[in-house]
């Protein structure tokens, strides 16, 4: 599943289903990303290398079905 990840100026981290763009109605010091798809907030301590300046980034989420055997 391909998604986008972006951090806003307040440090909040978001997953977006579609490529985000800077919200044109936000003030510059409170800029945030918007998209036409769903978005999900992520713990802001996750992926500290993602910054507002290098956002957005396209990512791929892979769900693996792993069975643990004893």
Q: What is the pTM of this model?
A: 0.76
Q: What is the domain count for the chain?
A: 1
Q: What is the pLDDT of residue 69?
A: 61
Give per-residue pLDDT as tens, 14-31.
999 999 988 777 777 778
**Cβ neighbours around 33 below 10 Å, total:** 23
Give per-residue pLDDT as tens, 45-64.
999 999 999 999 999 988 88
Q: Does 70 fall in a domain?
A: no
Q: Does 39 fall in a domain?
A: yes
Mean pLDDT of 24-40: 81
Q: Does 67 fall in a domain?
A: no
Q: What is the pLDDT of residue 70?
A: 57
Residue 10 lies in domain: 2-60
Residues in CB range of 32: below 8 A, 6 or more apart: 8, 9, 10, 12, 22, 23, 26
Q: Does 20 fall in a domain?
A: yes
Residue-level length of the chain = 70
Q: Does 48 fall in a domain?
A: yes
Mean pLDDT of 22-46: 84
């Amino acid at each position: 599943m391909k998604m986008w990840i972006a951090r806003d100026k307040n440090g909040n981290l978001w997953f977006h289903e579609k490529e985000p763009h800077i919200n044109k109605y936000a003030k510059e010091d409170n800029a945030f990303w918007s998209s036409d798809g769903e978005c999900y907030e992520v713990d802001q301590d996750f992926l500290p290398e993602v910054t507002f300046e290098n956002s957005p980034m396209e990512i791929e989420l892979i769900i693996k079905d792993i069975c643990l055997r004893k």
